[in-house]
Structure 1
Amino acid sequence: MLDRLIAKSPFAAVLTAALEESRRRGDRRLGTEHLLLGLLHDPGSALALGIGLADARAALDRLDRAALTALGIEVEGLRPAEVPPRHGKLTLGAFTSSARAVVNEAIRGTPRPRDPARLLRVLVDLAPPDPAAELLVELGADREAVRRRLDSAT
């Protein structure tokens, strides 16, 4: 269903990359943090963020380790398990409610719907404890600078 809605576009490429990032991490759902990682596959969004994909993945790993440590689970020395590839269509059921709301906001009521830059604008406006907002904080992203770069690109 979602693939028909967005067809073959840069926006669709970002959502597909986000789904692959979710699968790569072994997550069962696609959250806002995966949307942010998916945006880093888009050159314009990566430039606006001023962050590399490898750095974002490492930061998300640090946040996950910190969360597990807070629960009393020691993860030092553990290696990630091999995650078997899963295939299938991208559906709205794969999204967390927060990720679904972000995507809906990005495609609704704008002059340029389904633009990766619009998705990035929505994510940059999120506040902790949202996972994408926490990831931006961990990365030391300057949200105002990101907004200025997005404004200058349009």
Structure 2
Amino acid sequence: MFGRQKSPVTVIIKAAFEEARLRGDRRMGTEHLLLGLLHHEESARALGIDVATARAALDELDRAALRMLGLEVGDAPKTPRKHPAVPGTALTSSARAVLNQAIKATTMRTRDAETPRHLALGLLAQARPDPAAQVIDQLGIDRTTVRSRIV
């Protein structure tokens, strides 16, 4: 009768793995965590961006990196290619560190409510060349303003 709602942490992490799969990446990184966090409505509001805008910024960063190598890429196909699921253990070291830090900053009782906030703070603390930091900079997100909104 009453279905149990999925925890925000589960939604964010599953969305991050799905974002990695959609991009054809073999591991989930901080850039995917950022995209996953944007599937959490409250976090997206705090950051002031939506998933589509962040995806576009990440795509543009990819294109810029390829241009630096002398490769010009046309528009990506509108329908994504079929990519295999990213294994649940396939995280970059940065993504693993941000997740661990966010979970350690909470207690079991506050985990569902507090982890998204700590994930956002952890991603905002990343510095270049970290992919999440590059997306945050590309989007012009004012880290200080967002931190004050979150805290």
Fold shared per TM-score above 0.5: yes
- Residue 120 of structure 1 is matched in structure 2 by 120
| Dislocated runs of 4+, deviation >2 Å | 76-83, 85-88, 109-114
- Residue 103 of structure 1 is matched in structure 2 by 99
Question: Which segment drifts farther, 71-80 or 95-104?
Answer: 71-80
Change (3 A) 1:9 1:129: same
Of 38, 44, 50 in structure 2, the residue corresponding to residue 52 of structure 1 is 50
SS of corresponding position for 2:15: helix
Contact 1:32 1:130 in 2 (8 A): yes
* Residues in 2 aligned to 1:38 and 1:71: alpha-carbon distance in whole angstroms: 29
Change (3 A) 1:78 1:142: closer
Code of the aligned partner of 1:94: A
- Residue 147 of structure 2 is matched in structure 1 by 147
* Residues in 2 aligned to 1:50 and 1:67: alpha-carbon distance in whole angstroms: 26
Structure 1 gaps, min length 5:
1-7
1:133 aligns with 2:113: no
* Residues in 1 aligned to 2:105 and 2:141: alpha-carbon distance in whole angstroms: 27
- Residue 76 of structure 1 is matched in structure 2 by 74
- Residue 29 of structure 1 is matched in structure 2 by 27
Question: Which segment drifts farther, 132-141 or 94-103?
Answer: 94-103
Q: CA deviation at 1:109?
A: 3.8
Code of the aligned partner of 2:71: I
1:59-99, Cα deviation, whole Å (9 max, x unpaired): 000000000111111113564784225357x52x2111111
How much is the aligned-residue C-alpha RMSD, in angstroms? Answer: 1.9
Change (3 A) 1:27 1:109: same
Change (3 A) 1:55 1:82: closer
Code of the aligned partner of 1:106: A
* Residues in 2 aligned to 1:37 and 1:47: alpha-carbon distance in whole angstroms: 13
Code of the aligned partner of 1:22: A
1:35-56, Cα deviation, whole Å (9 max, x unpaired): 0000000011001100111110
Structure 2 gaps, min length 5:
1-5
Q: CA deviation at 1:117?
A: 1.0
